[in-house]
Amino acid sequence: VTGSLLDLSAEQSVNAWSTVGQGQALAYHEDGQLAGQVEAMRNGDIQDGQALQGGLTEVDQFLNRTDDQRLLITEGATNINGQAVYGAAHQDSGTMFVDIASERIGSLVNTVAHEGMHLTGAGEANATVTGYMTDLAYRVNAWAN
């Protein structure tokens, strides 16, 4: 079954747990400075497109352990059925798109982790669970920090 948990390879399982662990570490990275930037983006305190692009790229690089400049911001993203989505991944180009419109920016940790998993070949079920777990790990630790 494509896109199910049955597709979960050992490599994808390790990648998923690594990403969740990075979500936890995100709350403490640079003495909480990156978490402060995440919260400013989530709360809408950062409105400038370049600042959002740079901040989200930094989150992607930290969560997904990459040096790539592969994240682009967008507004009003939809899937092929016209339904609103928080992000998308284009595996052929290695590009991740994150929607920054209104409430969608509030889920940026989930979205970046989710789309990052797709860029490593994960199916929808694995990407979804990893996104939620990474966001939960980040939020609990950011709150505690």
HSE-CB of 107 using CA atoms within 13 angstroms? 17
The H-or-E segment that residue 75 falls in is none
What pTM was computed for the model?
0.92
- How far is CA 34 from each of CA 6, 93, 131, 145, rounded to the nearest angstrom? 35, 27, 18, 12
Sheet with 71-74, strands from edge to edge, namely: 71-74, 95-99, 87-90
Q: Assign 102 a pLDDT band (cuts: 50, 70, 90).
A: confident
Count of structural domains within the chain: 1
Q: Give per-residue pLDDT as tens, 111-133.
A: 999 999 999 999 999 999 999 99
Span 2-58, pLDDT tens digits:
455 555 688 889 999 999 999 999 999 999 999 999 999 999 999 999 999 999 999
Query: What per-residue confidence (pLDDT) applies to 115?
Result: 98
Are 102 and 116 in contact by the 8 Å Cβ rule? The answer is no
Residue 143 has a pLDDT of 92
The pLDDT value given to residue 6: 52
pLDDT digits (tens, 9 = 90+) for 43-97: 999 999 999 999 999 999 999 999 999 999 999 999 999 999 999 999 999 999 9
pLDDT at 9: 82
What's the start-to-end Cα distance of the chain, in Å? 40
Identify the pLDDT of residue 10: 85
Q: Which domain holds residue 69?
A: 5-144
What's the rounded Cα separation, in Å, for the pair 98 and 115? 8
